[in-house]
Structure 1
Amino acid sequence: MKNILLIGGSHGVGREIASQLSSTNNVYVASRTAKELSDLNVNHIPFDVMLDDIEDKNIPDEIHGFVFCPGSINLKPFKMLDIQDFEEDMEINFFCLVKVVKTIIGNMAEGSSMVFFSTVAVGSGMAYHTSISAAKAAIEGFAKALAAEYAPKLRVNVIAPSLVDTSLASRLLSNDKKKEQMSERHPLKRVGNVKDIANMATFLLNSENSWITGQIIGVDGGMSTLNSNS
């Protein structure tokens, strides 16, 4: 069985990825909490990406798949953002990712796969997204360069979702009216769910799909490429 390491996989998209992979792989979830993992056959590693060093944790010597899930949604007009907002978004989305990758890169097996997360807003340009778009754009650039440097040993890809119905997005989807408004913005007339994103992650981790690397893949209900309102 292959070893899959998820950073921050105890809820939302990460938990769904763990659920999909746990029956056929050794899944290690490094996260702050384990409550929502109780029904899954996974190995939990107590870990706070903002405070802890993964080097100090008991991770597999050989890793075949890696997913970095932590992120933020900080949507404000630019004039209401201060430098600390940008620094915090960059820290949790990008610098924490780089820190973990720096530590585990030597553990990645031949033919292994890494999956990171961006946002549709990087490629589309959306109001009130300056801080999060800057942080996620850093991930996209990092992933492409990393994929080039480590090919053909390992593959690195990025999923760029639109709005997904998770606890992270709860403020944006807090009532039926908001959900309807957000759904109408998408050509497919709904917001995403955790399976939409997890399905792509597990696809990219699968060694049968080993001719895909350095890609930014939109799973966004058509938001990034279609204008269905014209």
Structure 2
Amino acid sequence: MQKNILLIGGSYGIGASIANKLKENNNVIIASRSNENIPKGITHHTFDALNEDISTLDLPENIDGLVYCPGSINLKPFKMMSPEIFSEDMDVNFHSLVRVVHGLLPKLKNSEQASLIFFSTVAVKVGMPFHTSVAAAKGAIEGFAKALAAEYAPNFRVNVIAPSLTDTSLASKLLNSDSKKEKMAERHPLKKVGTTEDIAAMAAFLLNDDSKWITGQVFGVDGGLSTLNTH
């Protein structure tokens, strides 16, 4: 049976890869600011998670899968990070996510068992220099996801994907030369930088019924960086 899968911010990067992977067998809906690169057969709604109310969109009565993609990579020394930057990163990564989930609760409850997927970062589990703001915002997501999973079980399943550096436009400054890509690849035990397809494969698994006994988990899709020391 087709599922209604809603991606927030799915017009490029990881979100676009997830949409492409799911579109054949599901009713995929993208709500994002940009309507560029939306594949044929996917419904698009113009939506700004920072400023707009998701409940105003004309969406199906039941949402079976929700993926929240908006995020930030703000890497600077702490002394250069004003409190305002922390607030901005929390707004994009966490507060907007909370508003979206809250606004969709009635439609998620109408599903037989909704699957919710949020994104964190390897830098929550592994302390890394220059990651104070993004690690704080993503750490909030991990705590929220586990509490939400406990509160709404068995009606919802809630899981988090925590990638390491992935080759997307958001990470372009870190991967804008072959030498940078090689250096970043060497940091990972699997000697490669992640691709959007790597992350999409895990998201697709968590959205389908093969993962129906999995909830409240944080999955490190990170080339082994969070658990292995090969240096």
TM-score with structure 2 setting the length? 0.97
1:63 partner SS? coil
| 1:24 matches 2:36 | no
| 1:49 matches 2:69 | no
CA separation in 2, counterparts of 1:16 and 1:111? Answer: 23
Could you tell me which residue of structure 1 aligns to residue 150 of structure 2?
A: 148
48-57 or 115-124: bigger deviation: 48-57
Could you tell me which residue of structure 1 aligns to residue 8 of structure 2?
A: 7
Deviation (angstroms), 1:51: 1.7
2:44 partner SS? strand
Could you tell me which residue of structure 2 aligns to residue 102 of structure 1?
A: 102
Q: Is the 1:19–1:40 Cα contact (8 Å) retained in structure 2? A: no
CA separation in 1, counterparts of 2:114 and 2:48? Answer: 24
2:124 to 122, 125, 130: 122
Aligned-residue identity in percent: 60
- Runs of 4 or more above 2 Å deviation: none
Could you tell me which residue of structure 1 aligns to residue 197 of structure 2?
A: 195
2:64 partner SS? strand
CA separation in 1, counterparts of 2:105 and 2:219? Answer: 22
Could you tell me which residue of structure 1 aligns to residue 64 of structure 2?
A: 64
Could you tell me which residue of structure 2 aligns to residue 216 of structure 1?
A: 218
1:173-228: CA deviation from partner (whole Å, max 9, x where unpaired): 01111111100000000100000000000100002210000000000000000011
TM-score with structure 1 setting the length? 0.98
Matched residue type, 2:3: K
Q: Is the 1:112–1:207 Cα contact (8 Å) retained in structure 2? A: no
* Contiguous gaps of at least 5 residues in structure 2: none
CA separation in 2, counterparts of 1:59 and 1:158? Answer: 24
* Contiguous gaps of at least 5 residues in structure 1: none
1:55-87: CA deviation from partner (whole Å, max 9, x where unpaired): 111111101000000000000000000011100
4-13 or 47-56: bigger deviation: 47-56
Root-mean-square deviation over aligned CA pairs: 0.7
CA separation in 2, counterparts of 1:179 and 1:128? Answer: 19
CA separation in 2, counterparts of 1:170 and 1:23? Answer: 29
